Amino acid sequence: MIFQCPGAKRFKQPQPESIRCETCGREIEIWSDEVTTKCPGCKQAVTRKSQESCLDWCRYAKECAGDEVYRRYLRDKTVSIRQKLMGALEKHFGGDQKKIDHARDVAQYAEEILRNEPGDWHIVIPASILHDLGNIAGGQRGRDAAGAEQARRLMLTLGFQKQDIDEICSIIEHHHSPDALDTRNFKILCDADSLVNFKDHGARQDARKISEAIERTFLTKTAKELARKKYL
């Protein structure tokens, strides 16, 4: 008889459950493999309170649940911790709304790119929110290294896995050097950041020069298409 892990059953064979909408108090249905849903009453997004699953720590999680289920779980879990990361960022930057808005914009572009490019939501989204966490005097390299270390300490308190923390921090530390790393997650973060910053470089250039700059700057096909729509 083939062993079937009971912990993965809620993801492989989802069942309806009930949670309460924090906005209007209505009891609504959510499937056991979902983290977020929309309240049919007030139309607000409702996020299930974070719960640790065997998919978070089991070494066989990906093989047991299957690649598609595992990737969807990590993506949905990222949505559930996004608010915590943004809250920590707001606390870190205090009244500096410009930095907070920048991080939020980069995260939104990262999500757009991830819908069409093969990347890992649970890596890219935290990196996009925390990528400019460094806020010390000195050169850019020093700020990025400091930001990576601050991000590491924060993610440890939120229960991130060590291997994920290492990759996220590497992306943060090198994100101002697009040639530093050759990974899909790094390229998506760099492109999301560039989509927000690009307007600072080509506002007064003609269409041909802007088009050439887009080809030079962006690393993914999706980001290039988004840049053309936004800036041409």
Q: Which domain holds residue 180?
A: 78-231
- From 65, 90, 109, the end of a domain falls on 65
- Domain boundary (16, 33, 65) is at 65
According to the per-residue pLDDT averaged within each range, which of 63-67, 80-84, 113-117, 199-203 is highest? 113-117
The confidence band for 4, taking pLDDT boundaries of 50, 70 and 90, is low
Q: Is 136 exposed, middle or buried (0-12, 13-18, 19+ CB in 10 A)?
A: exposed
Question: Is residue 138 located within the same domain as residue 209?
Answer: yes
Q: Do residue 59 and residue 131 come from a single domain?
A: no
Closest C-alpha to 11, from 53, 59, 47: 53
pLDDT higher at 172 or 14 = 172
State the Cα torsion 52-54-56-57 to the nearest 10°.
Answer: 120
**Judgement on whether residues 110 and 225 belong to the same structural domain of the protein:** yes
Instruction: Tell me what pLDDT residue 137 has.
Output: 42
CB 118 within 8 A of CB 184: yes
User: How do residues 138-178 score in pLDDT, each as one tens digit?
Assistant: 445 568 888 999 999 999 988 888 999 999 999 999 999 88
Cα distance between residue 61 and residue 54, in whole Å: 7
pLDDT at residue 220, as a whole number = 96
Asked if residue 34 and residue 88 are part of one domain, the reply reads no
Burial of 62 per CB tally in 10 Å (0-12, 13-18, 19+): middle
Residues whose CB is less than 8 angstroms from the CB of residue 87 and which lie 6 or more positions away in sequence, other chains included: none
Domain end marker among 36, 65, 94: 65
pLDDT value at 2 more than 60: no
Question: What is the pLDDT, as a whole number, of residue 181?
Answer: 92
103 in a structural domain: yes
- Structure-model confidence comparison of residues 3 and 124, the more confident one: 124
- Domain of residue 216, CATH code: 1.10.3210.10
Report how many domains make up the chain: 2
Q: Are residues 120 and 22 in the same domain?
A: no
- What is the reported pLDDT for 1? 37
Q: How confident is the model over 204-219, as pLDDT tens digits?
A: 567 888 888 899 999 9
| Same domain? 137 vs 37 | no
E strands, the chain, are 16-20, 27-31, 36-38, 45-47
What is the number of other CB atoms lying within 10 angstroms of the CB of residue 198? 21
Residue closest to 110 by CA, chosen among 134, 147, 88, 78: 78
Residue 108, pLDDT above cutoff 50: yes
Per residue in 22-35, pLDDT (tens digit) is 889 889 888 777 76
Band of residue 201 on the pLDDT scale cut at 50, 70, 90: low
Given a contact cutoff of 8 angstroms between Cβ atoms, the answer to whether 48 and 17 are in contact is no
